[in-house]
């Protein structure tokens, strides 16, 4: 019986994805444990550390379908860790006394940490795919709306004109940085663990490092430079990375949510019958994906904090901080996958109302481009005097509810330098988007070059 939303049959696809849940599912985890035990036996048999027939027997017995999961649970409840009861079952499956060579020279945390590294490899591949898809969706929006003017807002007020393509390109830039971060962190995070009881490989003598190297090669994981039983910065970095990713998704969700406001109405989540509906207000179209993204991001942030706290392991094996990771890592990845899925569906089908964007730009009658008038006037009378004249014109237009153009044209110190035709062009917001288009082009060009391998 599920007891949390990320496991619930009702809620789980709002907050996660089936693919990411599979990565952290019990059967997948046990499969990793067994694969590591089999690889360890295989390597040690090849190196002559355990008998070849024992290695073959252990590998043959390391089958997930041969594990009694109820007995494994009971053993885990008793011991506090799953590896001892798992190894007991694996050893019992080997003929004669060959099972005694199971888990040779390893400690519980070696197996669990290495299994986690295998899970992270799969999980980060899913995140990588999500980021690639999000990048493509945002690049499409940036290109399609490169020249679509809209109001830029600072402190929730009209600032200057921008373009929606530029806004999408800003979102895109953060996703592209996350893709680079992911590529950079993988070598630090996808590292296996095999160091023995206190991390010194004492039980294997001079063969320890050879076994460690061969085991990492067998599993396709990085070789640790030294034991990381209590050095957990790599795992904290991985979850911290998820905090950055979901933080960027939350920024996008916040923008879309604000643009969906009735008073703004510039962009909307894709329409689906009944989605975002109210049980009592038929007119409602709530920003459901945005809300779910924001909730996921808030919870991932808490897992980041938990992982940072869990870095304080005591001495050479932690009494508690390790267990924090068991809770934090799966939740962080599942919630991140859920947020990415919601964002991708939203961005791929985003409904953009370019007409409403233009209406909102024009709602102040040109006040949004007062800076353009000031800058055009400044060469004639100086920037500060131009600022003061235009500032007064803005106040007069707003207070008297007069068209800004009329107020400007009726101000002698302005009109003698800028005629009405020039003023009319200056207060057209579409003429004052700066280098938004060129910035979009530059980012998209860099993306094309990156994806083509240049």
Which of the residues are catalytic? 155, 278
The tokens describing 62, both together, are 């390391």
Q: Are 164 and 152 in contact (CB under 8 A)?
A: no
Residue with tokens 């960027």: 248
Contact between residue 269 and residue 288 where contact means Cβ atoms under 8 Å apart: yes
Structure tokens at 397: 């237009």
How many CB atoms sit inside 10 A of residue 373's CB? 26
For residues 403 and 397, what is the distance between their CA atoms, to the nearest angstrom? 6
**Residue 180 tokens, joined:** 């680079």
The rounded distance, in Å, linking the Cα atoms of 90 and 103 is: 10
DSSP conformational letter for 189: H
Token pair 């009944």 in the structure block, residue:
274
Sequence-separated (6 or more) residues with CB below 8 Å from residue 13: 338
How far is Cα 211 from Cα 331, in angstroms, rounded to an integer? 33
| Cα 439 to Cα 212: distance, rounded to the nearest angstrom | 49
Helix (H, G, I), strand (E, B) or coil at 273: coil
Number of H helices and E strands in the chain, helices first, is 19, 4
Greatest alpha-carbon pair distance for the chain in Å reads: 105
Number of residues in the chain? 454
Give the CA distances from residue 274 to residues 271, 283, 286, 344, in Å, rounded to whole numbers and listed in that order. Answer: 8, 11, 10, 20
Radius of gyration of the chain (CA): 30
């Amino acid at each position: 019986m599920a007891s949390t939303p990320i496991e619930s049959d009702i809620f789980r696809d709002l907050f996660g994805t089936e693919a990411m849940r599979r990565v952290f599912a019990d059967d997948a985890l046990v499969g990793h444990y067994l694969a590591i035990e089999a690889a360890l036996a295989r390597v040690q048999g090849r190196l002559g550390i355990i008998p070849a027939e024992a290695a073959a027997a252990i590998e043959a017995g390391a089958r997930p379908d041969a594990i009694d999961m109820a007995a494994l649970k009971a053993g885990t409840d008793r011991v506090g860790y799953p590896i001892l009861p798992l190894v007991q079952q694996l050893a019992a499956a080997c003929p004669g006394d060959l099972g005694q060579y199971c888990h040779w020279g390893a400690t519980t945390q070696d197996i669990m940490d290495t299994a986690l590294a295998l899970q992270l490899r799969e999980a980060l591949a899913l995140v990588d795919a999500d980021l690639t898809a999000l990048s493509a969706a945002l690049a499409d929006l940036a290109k399609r709306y490169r020249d679509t003017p809209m109001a830029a807002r600072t402190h929730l007020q009209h600032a200057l004109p921008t373009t929606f393509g530029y806004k999408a390109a800003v979102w895109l830039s953060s996703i592209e940085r996350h893709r680079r971060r992911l590529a950079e962190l993988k070598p630090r995070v996808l590292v296996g663990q095999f160091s023995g009881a206190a991390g010194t490989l004492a039980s294997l003598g001079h063969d320890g490092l050879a076994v460690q190297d061969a085991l990492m090669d067998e599993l396709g994981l990085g070789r640790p430079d030294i034991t990381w039983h209590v050095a957990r910065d790599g795992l904290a970095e991985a979850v911290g990375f998820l905090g950055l990713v979901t933080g960027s998704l939350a920024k996008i969700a916040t923008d879309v949510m604000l643009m969906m406001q009735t008073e703004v109405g510039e962009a909307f989540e894709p329409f689906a019958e009944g989605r975002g509906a109210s049980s009592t207000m038929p007119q409602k179209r709530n920003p459901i994906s945005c809300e779910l993204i924001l909730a996921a991001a808030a919870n991932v942030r808490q897992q980041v904090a938990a992982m940072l706290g869990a870095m304080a392991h005591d001495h050479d094996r932690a009494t508690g901080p390790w267990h924090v990771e068991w809770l934090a890592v799966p939740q962080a990845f599942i919630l991140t996958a859920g947020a990415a899925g919601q964002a991708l569906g939203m961005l791929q089908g985003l409904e953009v109302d370019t007409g409403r964007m233009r209406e909102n730009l024009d709602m102040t009658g040109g006040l949004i481009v007062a800076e353009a008038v000031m800058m055009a006037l400044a060469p004639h009378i100086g920037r500060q005097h131009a600022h003061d004249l235009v500032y007064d014109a803005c106040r007069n237009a707003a207070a008297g509810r007069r068209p800004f153009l009329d107020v400007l044209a009726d101000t002698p110190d302005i009109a003698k330098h800028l005629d009405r035709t020039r003023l009319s062009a200056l207060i057209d917001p579409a003429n004052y988007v700066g280098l938004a288009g060129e910035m979009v082009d530059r980012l998209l060009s860099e993306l094309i070059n990156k994806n083509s391998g240049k």
